[in-house]
Structure 1
Amino acid sequence: MTNRIPIASPVRTAAIVNRYFVHAKKNLGQNFLVDLDAVQGIVRAAGIEPGDQVVEVGPGIGSLTEQLLLAGGKVAAYEVDHSLPEILANELPEKVDGQDLDQRFKLIMKDVLKADFATDLAGFFDLSKPVKVVANLPYYITTPIIFNLLESSLDFTSLTLMMQKEVAERLAAQPGSKVYGPLSIAVQTQMSVDLALEVGHASFMPQPKVDSAVVVLTPLEKPADVGDRKQFNRVVKLCFAQRRKTLANNMKTLLPDKEDREKLLADLDLGPRQRPEQLAISDFIRISQAIAEMNK
């Protein structure tokens, strides 16, 4: 069937909701995106070109999926809502650029946090080539999905993710910002962060109480050498344990002895009364490495 009105339009979304008696599930963090400009903005931010291999997380009723396909992408989508496969099969275009839908789209009914990308994508993607990840993420699970993707074996050139605006701002935050913290540092040691566009709450159905933003994460050519990443993240998290306290006070768990803390900070040319949000990522790397040396 030929669908002339995009799924992302409010009229088409409403028609789909009524036809299939589907509704956005709060427990899955679902909100249907009903703003074609925003959807196309996500596709542009991701730089989707003909032939691109795209992993989508949470296709929903297909608003973003449809535009990824029309831009030339070959899409493998992870979904957990078992009420949606029928909708996607019926509402996505039967043919895209002369190809049947099943040649361009694969639905994987699995939680992306449990994905085995090599197995899931084998036979559909050319795994010798990289992919682009595009997703409209549920607010409640944004951070776990980001870290799952960063730690996975998936060879991606970019992650283009829509999320709660507040989280997006934390990802992009720089030293001195009130929202700069462990999340900013953990991501920025591995990825460049670009705030691509903002999407207001009125662009969704039902409307959430907060606005969203689209972030493009691109792997750094040379990720920061943080040593043991698990230990580094622990050090950073403890340094930010209480934002209103000084760095020295927050480091009590890491170094219980006051003289040890003062000596370490002095050796690193860091003031004991500095607050954690004032430090650059390189400072946290030096702190983590120094603590690791002391614990040998």
Structure 2
Amino acid sequence: MSITVDYFRNQPPKKHRGQNFMINDANLDFLSRIINRKKSNWLIEIGGGLGFLTEKISNKNNLTVYEVDEHLNSFLKNKFPSLNIERDVRNWQPEDAENDGMLVGNLPYYLSGRILWMVARWPGKIKNAVFTVQKEVADRICSKPGSKSYGLLSGPLQFFYSCKIEKKLSKNSFFPKPKVDSAIITLTNKNKRECFPYSDQYLKLNKKIFSQRRKNAKKLLKKIVPNAMLEKIPDGFRPEDIEPKLGMLLSKNSNIK
């Protein structure tokens, strides 16, 4: 905590970067233990910050740390001269990566949706993900079909990954203290390789129907999937009622572009 206060004495955390740093050492240990026991061909940490988590996972092979803040990026390069420190994870190209990698990190709110979309889009590349996210986001990822929190990414992520909330975290675990609680989640690949080519279609289909989530699912899909597929959707279903397996079936047979 003293390192955090000293660092930000002359340059306060940037709200537009979503800078809330995990300072609870017990939670950092919990998070790093999960990461360290998982195997992967490469590892990317998103949002290295002051390197508290980086230090605990720095022995992992093929670790790359992304930190978009210019000053923090320089700080990390000085602290970990042997590590590969990059700037903006949004410039990373998953299609060029080796298979069976892992993404980890304390995701800022403004970036969490984009990163989770990436995980759902590239199940052939990403074997595991371990993130700290807002508790509301964690609840949406792990929610059951038919619930109000079941959203656009819930189905695709649950189809390709086992999604689990590992631990709920208080606001007091972070500096500066955020307005909401957080949670540590794990996404473990189910290895459904035959469906990897359809991940993009599933996401595009969900993006279309969840833009009108209160409408009847059959009506929304009438011009997108064959009648034989429409018959598999129970009458009265809305987008949030479509469970992951059915969502993939509809996507594979859709004309979505």
Q: Which bracket does the TM-score occupy, shorter chain normalised?
A: 0.7 to 0.9
Alignment of 1:125-144 (within 5 A): 131-144=101-114
Q: CA separation of 1:253/1:204 partners in 2, compared to 1, >3 Å: closer, same or farther?
A: farther
1:12 aligns with 2:3: yes
Which residue type is aligned with residue 142 of structure 2?
A
| Matches of 1:242 and 1:49, distance apart in 2 | 38
**Counterparts of 2:15 and 2:201, CA distance in 1:** 35
Q: Take 1:249 and 1:281, find their aligned partners in 2: how far apart are those partners?
A: 19
- Matched with 1:278 is 241
Counterpart of 1:87 in structure 2: which amino acid?
F
Partners of 1:152 and 1:226 in 2: how far apart?
8
Q: Which one of the candidate residues 101, 107, 125 is aligned to 2:85?
A: 107
- Show structure 1 runs of 5+ residues with no match: 1-9, 93-100, 122-126
| Counterpart residue type for residue 111 of structure 1 | D
Q: Indicate the residue corresponding to 2:60 in structure 1.
A: 73
Residue 237 of structure 1: CA displacement?
3.0
- Same amino acid, percent of matched pairs: 28
Once the 2 structures are TM-superposed, how far is the Cα of residue 88 of structure 1 from its aligned partner? 2.7
How far apart, in 1, do the equivalents of 2:253 and 2:94 lie?
A: 37
2:202 is matched with which residue?
232
- Which one has more relative contact order, counting CA pairs under 8 Å at least 6 apart? 2
Shift of 1:163: 1.1
Report the equivalent of 2:71.
83
Offset at residue 153 of structure 1 (A): 9.7
Q: Give the SS at the match of 1:73.
A: coil
Matched, 1:170 2:157: no
Report the Cα distance in structure 1 between the residues aligned to 2:72 and 2:173, rounded to whole angstroms: 21
Contact 2:67 2:85 in 1 (8 A): yes
Q: TM-score, normalised by structure 2?
A: 0.82
1:1-296 alignment, distance < 5 Å? 10-18=1-9, 21-48=10-37, 54-69=43-58, 72-74=59-61, 75-89=63-77, 92=79, 101-103=80-82, 105-108=83-86, 110-116=87-93, 131-149=101-119, 151=121, 155-223=125-193, 225=195, 228-251=198-221, 254=224, 265=230, 267-268=231-232, 270-292=233-255
Rounded to whole Å, the distance in 2 between the matches of 1:226 and 1:65 is 30
> Following TM superposition, by how much is the alpha carbon of 1:285 offset from its aligned partner in structure 2, in angstroms?
3.0
Deviation of residue 53 (structure 1)?
5.2
User: Alpha-carbon deviations, 1:161-199, whole Å to 9, x = none?
Assistant: 111111111111221222112211122232221211111
1:190-244 per-residue CA deviation (whole Å, 9 max, x = no partner) reads 2221211111212111111111111111222224637644333333333333333
Cα displacement (A) at 1:289? 4.3
Contact kept in structure 1, 2:121 and 2:200, CA below 8 Å: no
Match of 1:6 in 2: none
Greater Cα shift, 195-204 or 240-249: 240-249
SS in 1 for 2:162: strand
Mark the structure with the bigger radius of gyration: 1
Which letter does structure 2 place at the counterpart of 1:191? Y
> Match of 2:244, as an amino acid?
I
Runs of 4+ in 1 over 6 A off after TM superposition: 49-52
**Contiguous gaps of at least 5 residues in structure 2:** none
SS in 1 for 2:237: coil
Q: CA RMSD in A?
A: 3.3
Task: Quote the offset at 1:134 in angstroms.
Answer: 1.6
Letter in 1 for 2:28: V
Q: Alpha-carbon deviations, 1:104-139, whole Å to 9, x = none?
A: x2212x2111125799x9xxxxx7x95432211111
